Chains A and B, each alone.
Chain A
């Protein structure tokens, strides 16, 4: 199955906002409202931060928000903090014969 496309890296200064894009196809992001985002600090378990395009699980900061337009989903982090520095992955349900398809990950650097 084809992977979703994410930028390799993004950066921002503390207090700023950044957006990470995740581009798929009409077989995944474009078709379903089942896009999720995960935050991964090296050596720790990945953490679900957005489900169903824009829903935040309990305990996830309101600084994280998600959206979708056509075949592209986006994760926005506002009021950047040092602890936000991590890898971020998107995932989507797909009509292909597999449960989920993921992006390659985006490394966020907080300057």
Chain B
């Protein structure tokens, strides 16, 4: 059974940098079959795809966020991380990690999400 679990700080200050980690069990992030994605849901908005990372470490980002986000593979565990810089209140929302097949926009497994609030 594939499971994903997000972790990170629930509260961050404006202008700071957010780092979230997704821990994966039941599947290896080192396999070439999948993309490992981050998606967020801000209040009153549609779900928003942020970016993905591939087993090789190559990453691809949403054009609207690419200047502030980066995704990286964990060094020793089955984890990958999201980093968002220059936070504002508009970044407040629920952040999910999710798996998709390579080249696919269908997300077959998701984490429960972690709430991030940007406030001073």
Contacts and interface: CB of A to CB of B under 8 A. Distances in A.
Interface residues of A, number: 29
Interface stretch (A9-17, A36-44, A72-80): A36-44
Contacts of A93: 104-105
Interface stretch (B9-17, B59-67, B80-88): B59-67
B4 A103 contact: no
B76 interface: no
B49 A105 contact: no
A3 interface: yes
A104 B106 contact: no
Contact of A34 (B4, B48, B96, B106): B106
A41 to B, nearest CB: 10
A111 interface: no
B110 interface: yes
Contacts of B105: 34, 36, 91-94, 99-100
A48 B39 CA distance: 14
Contacts of A46: 96, 98, 107, 110
Contacts of B37: 99
Contacts of A4: 46
Contacts of A104: 45-47
A45 B46 contact: no
B63 A34 contact: no
A45 B2 CA distance: 12
